[in-house]
Protein backbone atom coordinates (compact mmCIF):
# COMPACT_ATOMS: atom_id res chain seq x y z
CA UNK A 1 0.00 0.00 0.00
CA UNK A 2 1.20 3.52 -0.83
CA UNK A 3 -0.01 6.85 0.55
CA UNK A 4 -0.04 9.86 -1.76
CA UNK A 5 1.10 13.05 -0.06
CA UNK A 6 -1.61 15.53 0.83
CA UNK A 7 -1.97 18.70 -1.22
CA UNK A 8 -0.38 17.49 -4.48
CA UNK A 9 -1.69 19.10 -7.67
CA UNK A 10 -1.29 18.80 -11.40
CA UNK A 11 0.06 21.79 -13.30
CA UNK A 12 -3.49 22.94 -14.06
CA UNK A 13 -4.30 23.11 -10.35
CA UNK A 14 -6.46 20.00 -10.20
CA UNK A 15 -5.85 17.71 -7.19
CA UNK A 16 -3.65 14.66 -7.58
CA UNK A 17 -4.90 11.55 -5.78
CA UNK A 18 -4.21 7.84 -5.66
CA UNK A 19 -6.82 7.35 -8.40
CA UNK A 20 -4.54 9.16 -10.87
CA UNK A 21 -1.72 6.70 -10.16
CA UNK A 22 -4.13 3.78 -10.42
CA UNK A 23 -5.34 4.97 -13.81
CA UNK A 24 -1.77 5.19 -15.09
CA UNK A 25 -1.16 1.54 -14.19
CA UNK A 26 -4.46 0.40 -15.63
CA UNK A 27 -3.68 2.15 -18.91
CA UNK A 28 -0.32 0.40 -19.18
CA UNK A 29 -1.91 -2.98 -18.44
CA UNK A 30 -4.91 -2.45 -20.73
CA UNK A 31 -4.42 -4.71 -23.81
CA UNK A 32 -6.04 -2.02 -25.97
CA UNK A 33 -3.15 0.31 -25.09
CA UNK A 34 -0.58 -2.09 -26.55
CA UNK A 35 1.99 -0.60 -24.20
CA UNK A 36 5.54 -1.82 -24.71
CA UNK A 37 6.05 -1.45 -20.96
CA UNK A 38 3.18 -3.71 -19.90
CA UNK A 39 5.62 -6.54 -19.16
CA UNK A 40 7.12 -4.46 -16.35
CA UNK A 41 3.86 -4.77 -14.42
CA UNK A 42 2.80 -8.24 -15.57
CA UNK A 43 2.79 -9.41 -11.93
CA UNK A 44 0.15 -6.83 -10.95
CA UNK A 45 -3.14 -8.57 -10.23
CA UNK A 46 -5.21 -5.70 -8.82
CA UNK A 47 -4.97 -1.92 -8.43
CA UNK A 48 -7.30 -0.11 -6.07
CA UNK A 49 -7.46 3.54 -5.01
CA UNK A 50 -9.30 5.18 -2.16
CA UNK A 51 -8.59 8.81 -1.37
CA UNK A 52 -4.83 9.03 -0.89
CA UNK A 53 -4.40 5.26 -0.50
CA UNK A 54 -3.11 3.20 -3.42
CA UNK A 55 -3.20 -0.58 -3.05
CA UNK A 56 -1.40 -2.85 -5.52
CA UNK A 57 -1.77 -6.62 -5.24
CA UNK A 58 0.93 -8.72 -6.90
CA UNK A 59 0.76 -12.31 -8.03
CA UNK A 60 4.23 -12.95 -6.61
CA UNK A 61 6.47 -10.95 -4.25
CA UNK A 62 8.17 -8.07 -6.09
CA UNK A 63 10.90 -6.30 -4.17
CA UNK A 64 11.55 -3.95 -7.09
CA UNK A 65 7.99 -2.62 -7.32
CA UNK A 66 8.92 0.82 -5.97
CA UNK A 67 11.62 1.13 -8.63
CA UNK A 68 9.19 0.20 -11.38
CA UNK A 69 6.64 2.69 -10.09
CA UNK A 70 9.31 5.40 -10.45
CA UNK A 71 9.47 4.92 -14.24
CA UNK A 72 7.61 7.28 -16.62
CA UNK A 73 5.14 4.48 -17.35
CA UNK A 74 3.64 4.87 -13.88
CA UNK A 75 3.47 8.67 -13.83
CA UNK A 76 0.00 9.79 -12.71
CA UNK A 77 -2.50 10.92 -15.32
CA UNK A 78 -5.73 12.87 -14.76
CA UNK A 79 -8.97 10.93 -14.54
CA UNK A 80 -10.57 10.52 -17.95
CA UNK A 81 -7.24 10.46 -19.79
CA UNK A 82 -7.93 8.26 -22.83
CA UNK A 83 -6.54 4.86 -23.76
CA UNK A 84 -5.10 5.35 -27.23
CA UNK A 85 -2.32 3.15 -28.64
CA UNK A 86 -1.46 5.92 -31.11
CA UNK A 87 -0.44 8.15 -28.21
CA UNK A 88 -1.98 11.25 -26.66
CA UNK A 89 -0.04 14.29 -25.48
CA UNK A 90 -0.29 14.70 -21.71
CA UNK A 91 -0.59 18.47 -21.39
CA UNK A 92 -0.62 18.55 -17.59
CA UNK A 93 2.15 17.33 -15.34
CA UNK A 94 2.83 16.48 -11.73
CA UNK A 95 6.57 17.17 -11.77
CA UNK A 96 8.47 20.46 -11.95
CA UNK A 97 7.55 20.95 -15.62
CA UNK A 98 4.72 20.05 -17.97
CA UNK A 99 4.27 19.96 -21.75
CA UNK A 100 2.93 23.39 -22.71
CA UNK A 101 3.19 22.85 -26.47
CA UNK A 102 4.18 19.99 -28.75
CA UNK A 103 4.61 20.00 -32.50
CA UNK A 104 5.56 16.42 -33.47
CA UNK A 105 9.11 16.10 -34.82
CA UNK A 106 9.60 19.88 -34.63
CA UNK A 107 9.10 21.51 -31.25
CA UNK A 108 8.61 20.80 -27.55
CA UNK A 109 7.91 23.53 -25.01
CA UNK A 110 8.01 22.79 -21.28
CA UNK A 111 6.35 25.17 -18.84
CA UNK A 112 7.09 25.43 -15.14
CA UNK A 113 4.54 23.82 -12.85
CA UNK A 114 3.72 26.52 -10.33
CA UNK A 115 2.04 23.97 -8.07
CA UNK A 116 5.12 21.77 -7.76
CA UNK A 117 6.58 21.69 -4.24
CA UNK A 118 9.18 18.94 -4.64
CA UNK A 119 12.97 19.06 -4.54
CA UNK A 120 13.70 18.54 -8.23
CA UNK A 121 15.37 21.51 -9.99
CA UNK A 122 12.88 23.99 -11.47
CA UNK A 123 14.71 27.30 -11.73
CA UNK A 124 13.81 28.37 -15.27
CA UNK A 125 10.29 29.35 -16.32
CA UNK A 126 10.32 27.68 -19.73
CA UNK A 127 12.34 25.22 -21.80
CA UNK A 128 12.08 25.31 -25.59
CA UNK A 129 13.50 22.31 -27.45
CA UNK A 130 13.78 22.23 -31.23
CA UNK A 131 13.60 18.70 -32.62
CA UNK A 132 15.51 17.55 -35.66
CA UNK A 133 17.42 19.82 -38.01
CA UNK A 134 20.86 19.60 -39.57
CA UNK A 135 23.67 18.79 -37.13
CA UNK A 136 26.02 21.47 -38.49
CA UNK A 137 23.26 24.09 -38.24
CA UNK A 138 22.46 23.01 -34.69
CA UNK A 139 26.11 23.31 -33.66
CA UNK A 140 26.36 26.77 -35.23
CA UNK A 141 23.22 27.84 -33.36
CA UNK A 142 24.96 27.07 -30.06
CA UNK A 143 28.20 28.73 -31.17
CA UNK A 144 26.31 31.88 -32.23
CA UNK A 145 24.25 32.04 -29.06
CA UNK A 146 20.96 31.26 -30.79
CA UNK A 147 20.58 28.09 -28.70
CA UNK A 148 21.77 27.27 -25.20
CA UNK A 149 22.62 23.60 -25.54
CA UNK A 150 22.81 20.79 -28.07
CA UNK A 151 21.63 17.78 -26.11
CA UNK A 152 22.18 14.90 -28.51
CA UNK A 153 24.88 12.32 -29.04
CA UNK A 154 27.17 13.49 -31.81
CA UNK A 155 29.48 11.43 -34.04
CA UNK A 156 32.96 10.76 -32.69
CA UNK A 157 34.78 12.75 -35.40
CA UNK A 158 32.62 15.82 -34.78
CA UNK A 159 33.03 15.39 -31.04
CA UNK A 160 36.81 15.20 -31.33
CA UNK A 161 36.87 18.32 -33.51
CA UNK A 162 34.81 20.31 -30.99
CA UNK A 163 36.99 19.09 -28.13
CA UNK A 164 40.09 20.28 -29.98
CA UNK A 165 38.57 23.69 -30.71
CA UNK A 166 37.04 24.40 -27.31
CA UNK A 167 38.60 21.97 -24.86
CA UNK A 168 36.48 19.76 -22.62
CA UNK A 169 34.54 21.19 -19.66
CA UNK A 170 36.15 24.62 -20.15
CA UNK A 171 33.06 26.71 -20.79
CA UNK A 172 31.70 25.71 -24.22
CA UNK A 173 31.93 21.96 -24.78
CA UNK A 174 31.03 19.64 -21.90
CA UNK A 175 31.20 15.94 -21.25
CA UNK A 176 28.20 14.79 -19.22
CA UNK A 177 28.46 11.43 -17.52
CA UNK A 178 25.38 9.28 -17.11
CA UNK A 179 24.10 5.76 -16.68
CA UNK A 180 23.43 3.51 -19.63
CA UNK A 181 21.68 0.18 -19.37
CA UNK A 182 22.39 -2.41 -22.03
CA UNK A 183 21.52 -6.07 -22.48
CA UNK A 184 22.86 -9.16 -24.19
CA UNK A 185 19.90 -11.34 -25.10
CA UNK A 186 20.06 -15.10 -25.70
CA UNK A 187 17.81 -16.34 -28.48
CA UNK A 188 16.17 -19.19 -26.58
CA UNK A 189 14.28 -20.33 -29.69
CA UNK A 190 17.51 -21.55 -31.28
CA UNK A 191 18.39 -25.24 -30.86
CA UNK A 192 21.53 -24.46 -28.87
CA UNK A 193 19.64 -22.76 -26.02
CA UNK A 194 16.11 -24.11 -26.40
CA UNK A 195 15.09 -26.25 -23.42
CA UNK A 196 18.65 -25.97 -22.10
CA UNK A 197 18.33 -23.96 -18.91
CA UNK A 198 21.67 -25.24 -17.63
CA UNK A 199 23.54 -23.84 -20.61
CA UNK A 200 21.78 -20.50 -20.34
CA UNK A 201 22.77 -20.28 -16.67
CA UNK A 202 26.35 -21.19 -17.55
CA UNK A 203 26.55 -18.41 -20.15
CA UNK A 204 25.09 -15.97 -17.64
CA UNK A 205 27.82 -16.87 -15.12
CA UNK A 206 30.60 -16.82 -17.71
CA UNK A 207 29.87 -13.39 -19.16
CA UNK A 208 32.44 -10.84 -17.93
CA UNK A 209 30.24 -7.77 -17.55
CA UNK A 210 33.04 -5.51 -16.38
CA UNK A 211 35.04 -6.32 -19.49
CA UNK A 212 32.02 -5.66 -21.71
CA UNK A 213 31.61 -2.21 -20.15
CA UNK A 214 35.29 -1.43 -20.69
On whether the CB atoms of residues 25 and 33 are closer than 8 A, the answer is: no
The pLDDT tens digits of the residues spanning 69-94 come to: 999 999 999 999 998 888 888 899 99
Tell me whether residue 40 is in a domain: yes
The pLDDT tens digits of the residues spanning 145-154 come to: 999 998 888 8
Tell me whether residue 86 is in a domain: no
6/70 same-domain check: yes
Give the separation between CA 183 and CA 186, rounded to whole angstroms. 10
The pLDDT tens digits of the residues spanning 122-155 come to: 999 999 999 888 899 999 999 999 999 988 888 8
Nearest partner of 10 among 99, 82, 119, 116, judged by Cα: 116
On whether the CB atoms of residues 84 and 97 are closer than 8 A, the answer is: no
196/154 same-domain check: no
- Residue 113 sits in which domain range? 97-166
CA 175 to chain centre: 21
- How many domains in the chain? 3
Give the separation between CA 203 and CA 97, rounded to whole angstroms. 44
Tell me whether residue 90 is in a domain: no
Tell me whether residue 7 is in a domain: yes
- The pLDDT-based confidence of 41 (bands split at 50, 70, 90) is very high
Tell me whether residue 84 is in a domain: no
Amino acid sequence: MFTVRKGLRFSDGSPLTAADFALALRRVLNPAMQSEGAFLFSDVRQVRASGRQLRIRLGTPGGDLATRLATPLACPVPLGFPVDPAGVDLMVGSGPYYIARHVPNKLLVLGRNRYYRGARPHRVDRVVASIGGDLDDDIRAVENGDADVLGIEIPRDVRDDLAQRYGVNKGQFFRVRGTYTGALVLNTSRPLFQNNVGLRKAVNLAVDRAEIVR
